[in-house]
Structure 1
Amino acid sequence: MKMLLAPALAAVATLAGCAATGTGPATPAPPAEAYMALGTEPGWTLEITPARLAYNGDYGATRVAVANPGARPSFNGERYVTDRLTVDVTHSACSDGMSDRRYRDTVTVTAEGKTVKGCGGAILPAADLTGTRWTFVSIGGTPVVADRPTELAFEGERMSGSAGCNRFGGSYAVEDGVLTAGQLAATLMACPGAGMAQERAFFDLMKTPVRLNFPSDGTMVLTGENGQTAVLKRVI
Structure 2
Amino acid sequence: MKRILPLFVLPALAACAPVEAPQPPATEPAAYMALGTEPGWTLEITPAQLDYHGDYGETRITAANPGARPSFNGRRYVTDRLTVDITHGECNDGMSDRLYADTVMVIADGKTVKGCGGAILAPTDLAGTSWTFVSINGVAVAADRPTSLAFEADRLSGSAGCNRFSGSWSREGAMLTAGPLMATKMACPGAGTEQENAFFALMRAPVRIEFPSDGTLVLTGPDGRTAVLRRSI
Shorter-chain TM-score range? 0.7 to 0.9
Please identify which structure carries the higher helix content: 1
Looking at structure 1, the residues matched to 58 and 164 of structure 2 have their Cα atoms a distance apart, in angstroms, of: 43
Q: 2:79 maps to what in 1?
A: 82
Alignment partner of 1:125: what SS? Answer: coil
1:222 aligns with 2:219: yes
Looking at structure 2, the residues matched to 118 and 110 of structure 1 have their Cα atoms a distance apart, in angstroms, of: 12
For structure 1, which segment, 72-81 or 191-200, has the greater mean C-alpha deviation from structure 2 after superposition?
191-200
Q: 1:190 maps to what in 2?
A: 187
Looking at structure 2, the residues matched to 65 and 194 of structure 1 have their Cα atoms a distance apart, in angstroms, of: 42
1:35 aligns with 2:32: yes
Matched-pair identity in %: 72
Across the aligned residues of Structure 1 and Structure 2, the Cα RMSD in angstroms comes to 1.8
1:205 aligns with 2:202: yes
Q: 2:145 maps to what in 1?
A: 148
The runs of 5 or more residues in structure 1 that have no matched partner are 1-30
Runs of 4+ in 1 over 3 A off after TM superposition: none
Task: Map 1:165-176 onto structure 2 (within 5 A).
Answer: 165-176=162-173
Match of residue 51, structure 1, among 39, 48, 52: 48
- How far the C-alpha of 1:193 sits from its partner, in A, is 2.6
- How far the C-alpha of 1:32 sits from its partner, in A, is 5.9
Corresponding pairs, count = 207
Task: Give the structure-1-normalised TM-score.
Answer: 0.82
Task: Map 1:17-166 onto structure 2 (within 5 A).
Answer: 33-166=30-163
Looking at structure 2, the residues matched to 142 and 229 of structure 1 have their Cα atoms a distance apart, in angstroms, of: 10
Alignment partner of 2:149: what SS? Answer: strand
- How far the C-alpha of 1:191 sits from its partner, in A, is 1.9
Distance 1:147 1:65, change over 3 A: closer
1:235 aligns with 2:232: yes
Provide, for residues 8-54 of structure 1, a one-character-per-residue CA deviation record: whole Å limited to 9, x for no partner. xxxxxxxxxxxxxxxxxxxxxxx961211100011111111222222
For structure 1, which segment, 102-111 or 138-147, has the greater mean C-alpha deviation from structure 2 after superposition?
138-147
Q: 1:5 maps to what in 2?
A: none
Looking at structure 1, the residues matched to 29 and 115 of structure 2 have their Cα atoms a distance apart, in angstroms, of: 22
Alignment partner of 1:195: what SS? Answer: helix
Letter in 1 for 2:186: M
Task: Give the structure-2-normalised TM-score.
Answer: 0.83
Looking at structure 1, the residues matched to 193 and 54 of structure 2 have their Cα atoms a distance apart, in angstroms, of: 44
For structure 1, which segment, 59-68 or 177-186, has the greater mean C-alpha deviation from structure 2 after superposition?
59-68
Alignment partner of 2:105: what SS? Answer: strand
Letter in 2 for 1:33: A
The runs of 5 or more residues in structure 2 that have no matched partner are 1-27
Alignment partner of 2:201: what SS? Answer: helix
